[in-house]
A and B are shown apart, each in its own frame.
Chain A
């Protein structure tokens, strides 16, 4: 079994997890509209004519994206020979998954630890880095920014072996902190870029107003700029979480100990457990468990995902 073929599943789970967000912008915008404005458009004939194709199209899209996720969820509880759920509907596959080696809670814990550490590091670094890139002029600024972006140019897989050697040297091999550091590094190009743009979108007058109002640079950053770039931080954090949560390659190469495996790694190992016979039921259960946090997070944060936060603070 090659790592790439195993990789297919978690990735698809991530794609389907993206569905609510894909449908979200439309809903988010409409949700924001009612304030103060009459909803006259829906009542007119023209409104109906315009709106029907919109609903048909978005519903079709939502169905297409939701289908794999729903199918996996249904399969995971339906009966099939050679799985933990031989006859009747039930959660047999989930108990197979739960009892696998160290137990699902350990893997969930490992995944959560790696993902949350990655999110925390990514947010902290890109917040400060984006601020520096957007607000200060220093020698070598563009070179530094370009070299941050250059991380994107190097294929992920080619870097993992050197990184493994490097991490071994500093004693972080086979460690979840090491995995989180590697994942954070790969998040930085996007995150720094995103935060730089977010900070640049905040008018300098806002900093200046706060400085005149008696704030030091730190206080300005903390009390005025942090709320202003919050949508950017949420986007960056969500991206980091999804990538770290679903990542297969980095833990595969960097983690040897079965007790320290992350969930995608555990699920893929579980798949080929019995003499090469694939336990699809348990795999599907694993995919559902993997996808669930992503779906929930997206549902919580989709509102913040759409910008429009700054509107009104300045002219126009």
Chain B
């Protein structure tokens, strides 16, 4: 068990014009499950590989526990990694795969057998100990890859999209298994994924990355309820948050007939920037159907009925922002509604944003304006 710490850690790939990981400052607490999430190419895998020692650190330090591991080779870092494609040793049986690291570390045979058995029991792999990886199903291979990490009892688990090769149903069940297993073992874990649902459901904390930089690190709920940037707001949550650029008038943002009152601090911050417009965000569930004269009008394009709830996709007339000329000044709006009495395609309906269920961001910097 140990903490993991990035201190201004930077990685620049040779020939690249911007760092893949740019001056990271991040602490993972002892026993914490931290999820690194972001779109592809955001540097999340690189960051993980820097902890593993598979990627050199060009500037800054990386610490595991009290040790500075920046210049240590992977084998001396006491970490275990689960790879996206599992990387099982094809010539070894399941038992051989599980015991490989122990053997390399010079663990005695009886102890090795005992730990392999215990791990296999934990992951329901006992019937397969003598099989080769090619004779296993995808889910079983995934469990062997997990087992290979668990059996070593390392200080840190590193997982690089370990579920992306499983089918959708297995992914959901394995997701909960990994999360509960990690809680039980209490090993500090860094987990990389591009799937924000995995990030939200598994992590104690989630770090959102974009273009090599940390956008926000917080608990899943805090990320959802108080995104610090437009990017985080759009990335976390499915369907994504509606983000609309609205002109400022008398300390309020206007969207159709809807007037969104900004807090005094937000209005002042926007004025300081000299902004004439702000970006307003509201989640699909923050919208409700209303009668004439209230909210804003949309034309329904598509309705997804999922049983428990329904998603309404529609177009609204975009608010006119000075200095911007769009060919079609419309915006797409998504709303989550109760499954009963959902409007049909082509209908015109009015939606209202619930009070205080909106977020205001600076259009210029993309940062959240103070509440």
Residues of A within 8 A of B (CB): 203, 205-206, 208-216, 219, 224, 227-228, 230, 309-315
Cα(A228)–Cα(B104), bound, Å: 18
Contact flag A205-B85 (CB < 8 Å), given A212-B79, A213-B101, A312-B132: yes
A122 to chain B, nearest CB (A): 23
- Find the B residue at minimum CB distance from A226: B91
Contact flag A203-B85 (CB < 8 Å), given A212-B80, A215-B75: yes
| A228/B148 in contact, CB under 8 A | no
Q: List 17 A-B contacts (CB under 8 A).
A: A205-B87, A206-B87, A208-B74, A209-B88, A210-B89, A211-B73, A211-B74, A211-B75, A212-B52, A213-B75, A213-B148, A219-B104, A224-B89, A227-B90, A313-B90, A313-B134, A315-B85
* Cβ-based interface call for B40 (8 A): no
Most chain-A CB neighbours within 10 Å: which of B87, B104, B148? B87
Contact flag A214-B85 (CB < 8 Å), given A228-B91, A312-B133, A315-B165: no
* Cβ-based interface call for B100 (8 A): yes
* Cβ-based interface call for B135 (8 A): yes
Chain A positions within 8 Å of B75 at CB level:
211-216
Chain B positions within 8 Å of A213 at CB level:
75, 80, 100-101, 104, 148, 152
Cα(A311)–Cα(B88), bound, Å: 11
Q: Which of B82-97 contact A (CB under 8 A)?
A: 83-91
Cα(A195)–Cα(B11), bound, Å: 32
Cα(A211)–Cα(B77), bound, Å: 10
Chain A positions within 8 Å of B105 at CB level:
214
A313 to chain B, nearest CB (A): 3
Residues of B within 8 A of A (CB): 52-54, 73-75, 79-81, 83-91, 100-101, 104-105, 132-136, 138, 141, 148, 152, 158, 165
Cα(A227)–Cα(B90), bound, Å: 8
Cα(A215)–Cα(B106), bound, Å: 11
- Find the B residue at minimum CB distance from A36: B135
Cα(A219)–Cα(B89), bound, Å: 14
Q: A211-B54, A219-B104, A313-B90 are in contact. List 10 more A-B contacts (CB 8 A).
A: A205-B84, A205-B85, A206-B87, A208-B83, A211-B75, A213-B100, A311-B134, A313-B86, A314-B87, A315-B138
Most chain-B CB neighbours within 10 Å: which of A205, A215, A227, A311? A205
| B101/A310 in contact, CB under 8 A | no
B172 to chain A, nearest CB (A): 19
Cα(A211)–Cα(B53), bound, Å: 9
- Find the B residue at minimum CB distance from A311: B134
Cα(A215)–Cα(B54), bound, Å: 13
Chain A positions within 8 Å of B74 at CB level:
208, 211-212
Cα(A210)–Cα(B101), bound, Å: 8
A200 to chain B, nearest CB (A): 16
- Find the A residue at minimum CB distance from B136: A312
Chain B positions within 8 Å of A206 at CB level:
87, 89
Cα(A153)–Cα(B249), bound, Å: 78
Most chain-B CB neighbours within 10 Å: which of A205, A227, A313, A315? A313
Chain A positions within 8 Å of B86 at CB level:
313-315
| B80/A313 in contact, CB under 8 A | no
Cα(A151)–Cα(B123), bound, Å: 54
Cα(A215)–Cα(B73), bound, Å: 10
Cα(A214)–Cα(B53), bound, Å: 12
